[in-house]
Structure 1
Amino acid sequence: MLLCLSVFLKMNLWLLLTLAALAECGHQQSGSHPCPDLCLCSFPPSGAEVVCSHNSLSKFPSDGLSPNTTQLSIQSTNLSGVSASHLSLLPYLKKLQLYHNNLTSLASDLLAGVAHLNTLDLTGNQLVHLPARVFSRASLRSLVMKNNLFEKAEADWFPLNSSITWLDLSGNRLSNVSAAMFQRLPRLENLDLSDNDLQDIQQQTLGDLNHLVTLNLAGNKFLSLKPATFTHNLKLSRLFLQENRLQELPATLFQGLTHLELLLLNQNQLRFLPAGLLDETKAGFRVILTGNPWKCDRKMEYLWKWLGEHPESVLFLQEVTCDAPEALKLKQVISLTDHQLDLMKL
């Protein structure tokens, strides 16, 4: 009995000592890695990662930030300002997310002390204007400025020969974009200009974007596009033109786009497609055509035949229906006969 009691006491003493050691280790570890108030921090081998998402946060969380921080996310707070001196505390910063705050401006030297920064996300602030050269001090590759209040996108924001490959300006108030800006962004692979007020793109605007793979122009106010709009974007794989006001398309609009895999034309005002428009598409190509007021007459012949030859290429094929004439309203285009399209008399 005494032997069992002795063993029990030794085991519990060992357990207490172990727990005490773990607690002390945890205390030391926490003490060696301070974290700002109202933030959460983790410390992987690659460097500290900090997330601050408390709505009572109104100042940059300088106190407690590790100089080894590589990722900082300040989101959904009342932060209204960030300065170069704040960011200079983080010389190894690679990813900075400042979305859904109250930022109204940025300093021209904001990124002067973060030469390694490659990702900057400014989504959901109140930015209207930016100073010249604001993005010239860092090796940015991804820049997101969606859902702000920009009416213009300026070329002088960027350095010559910028390293940016991903640019998102969606959800702003842009009424035009200039070739001069894109001349400074020759490495762009992904460009999102959706949900703006764009009505026109000049033929040479995208001319320097030879590496462009994804282009999103959805949710704008385009009535038409010029024949040579995409002439120099021969690597385009995904092109989003949905939810505009497109009434017709040039027959040569997609000429040379042999890498095109996904094309969205839904929710426009298209009544027919011109002969040859989709002739250069390859195996694996997919298109969405729903939500257009297709007029099922002789001008529909090209699309009707193309649908019959490539039904596997059309997503929501059964929803591609006639809007006119009244006798064919809501009839599936692919089900039409040459008699219904009045082709027998040709």
Structure 2
Amino acid sequence: MYANGVFDKLTQLTRLELDYNQLKSLPRGVFDKLTQLTRLDLEQNQLKSLPSGVFDKLTQLTRLELDYNQLKSLPRGVFDKLTQLTRLDLDQNQLKSLPRGVFDKLTKLTELEVSHNQLQSLPSGVFDELTQLAYLNLQQNKLQSLPNRVFDKLTKLTALVLRNNQLKSLPSGVFDKLTRLTHLNLRTNQLKSLPVPSLVTKLTILDLDQNQLKSLPSGVFDKLTQLTRLELDYNQLKSLPRGVFDKLTQLTRLDLEQNQLKSLPSGVFDKLTQLTRLELDYNQLKSLPRGVFDKLTKLTELWLYQNQLKSLPSGVFDKLTQLTRLELDYNQLKSLPSGVFDKLTQLTRLDLDQNQLKSLPSGVFDKLTQLTRLELDYNQLKSLPSGVFDKLTQLTRLDLDQNQLKSLPRGVFDKLTKLTELWLYQNQLGSSCPLSCQNLYELHCSDQELTYSQTAPTNYQGIALFPWD
């Protein structure tokens, strides 16, 4: 604790940092002589309350940090004299409510942080005077609803964070006046529906994941023509309306994983010509419409794992010539169409593990000359075609464990000169299978009886790791 008058002679002070101490209280009038102060840092203390009028003389203050304390309430009018304030941080306190009019005099405020408190509601009009506000963070509170028109005066707001609350619905038009808003984060709430008029037109990032959305209204995103990122993952979507994404022509990332999608409408992604990442994993897709990805010529990552795909349409990936990562693991694929990967010449990672593949078409990987990682483990492969890996000269990791391989074609790994990790355990290979890999550093085959053509591995510890000199 500081004695009263400790700063009284520091009348020219412009910045005072008292953060990361153990202050439990502030003496009344402790800052009264600091009339030139522009920044005051009080975060990371143990303040439980603020004396009435404690900041009244700090009329030049532009930044006030009160985060990471134990404030349970704010005195009425505590910020009224801080008319030059541009940033106020109240994060990580224990505030359960905000006094009506608490921010009314902060007409120059551009950043307001009130996250990680215990707010259950917002007073009507609480932000009405914050006409310069650009950033508002209300995440990690206990808000169950929003007052009608609560954000109507925030016409300069560009980012609004409401994630990790308990919002079950949104008032119609609640965001309609936020004409400059570019980032809206509503993730981890309990939203079950989205009213179409509640979305604004200049958004570039919209985060709706981890809600309880069961459906999307037709046209819900039609006005969001500037959107570049849309996150709808971890909801309960069972289907997508036809044309739901048609207006999102600037979208570069679309997250739909962890829903209950059983099928995709034909042409659902056709207008997303700028998309670079598409996540469809952890759904219930049993098939893919022919040509469903044909317009996604800029796609670099496609996540389809943890679905129920039993087959792939011929040519399904042919237009994805920029793709670098393809995740098809944890499906029910029994076979691969001949040439299915032939156009993926930029691919660096291909995951096919945890399927039901019994064989591989000859030359199936021949065009994947940039591939560095190939996952084929947990399938039912009984044999490998001769030369199946010969073109994979950049491969560094190959997983073949948990298959039913009884033998390996002679020289099957000879062209893999950059291979450093090879996984072969839980197969049925015997000592008659010679193994030769020039740069292998890790060999995982502890239950196999292979013959090695190199110097015996060193530091063998009875586990599936063989470091080579």
Residue among 447, 450, 454 paired with 1:330: 447
Point out where structure 2 has 5 or more consecutive residues left out of the alignment. 12-30, 38-54, 62-78, 86-105, 113-129, 141-155, 434-445, 455-469
Residue 197 (structure 1) shift: 0.4
* 1:1-346 equivalences in 2 (<5 Å): 11=11, 13-15=32-34, 18=37, 19=55, 20-21=58-59, 22=61, 24=82, 25-26=84-85, 27-28=106-107, 29=109, 30=112, 31=130, 32-33=132-133, 38-39=138-139, 48-60=158-170, 62=174, 66-88=178-200, 91-138=201-248, 139-160=250-271, 162-283=273-394, 285-296=396-407, 300-302=408-410, 305-307=411-413, 310=416, 313-317=419-423, 320=425, 322-323=427-428, 330-333=447-450, 335=452
Residue 212 (structure 1) shift: 2.1
Residue 334 (structure 1) shift: 5.5
SS of equivalent to 1:85: helix
Bigger shift: residues 196-205 or 279-288:
279-288
| Contact 1:35–1:65 (Cα < 8 Å) also in 2 | no
Mapped to 1, the partners of 2:186 and 2:242 lie a distance apart of: 24
Q: Which amino acid aligns with 1:111?
A: F
* Closer/same/farther in 2, CA of residues 270 and 65 from structure 1, 3 Å limit: farther
| Contact 1:199–1:222 (Cα < 8 Å) also in 2 | yes
Structure with more helix by fraction: 1
* Closer/same/farther in 2, CA of residues 321 and 127 from structure 1, 3 Å limit: closer
| Contact 2:386–2:412 (Cα < 8 Å) also in 1 | no
TM-score (norm 1): 0.80
TM-score (norm 2): 0.61
* Closer/same/farther in 2, CA of residues 162 and 330 from structure 1, 3 Å limit: same
* Closer/same/farther in 2, CA of residues 56 and 322 from structure 1, 3 Å limit: closer
Residue 185 (structure 1) shift: 2.6
Residue 127 (structure 1) shift: 0.6
Residue 258 (structure 1) shift: 1.4
Q: Which amino acid aligns with 2:448?
A: K
Task: Give the number of the structure whose alpha-carbon radius of gyration is greater.
Answer: 2
Query: Does 1 or 2 have the higher relative contact order (CA < 8 Å, sep 6+)?
Result: 1
Counterpart for residue 340 of structure 1: none
> CA deviation digits over 1:7-46, x for unaligned, max 9?
9567475315635222503333153328779547xxxxx9
* Closer/same/farther in 2, CA of residues 334 and 244 from structure 1, 3 Å limit: farther
Q: Which amino acid aligns with 1:230?
A: F
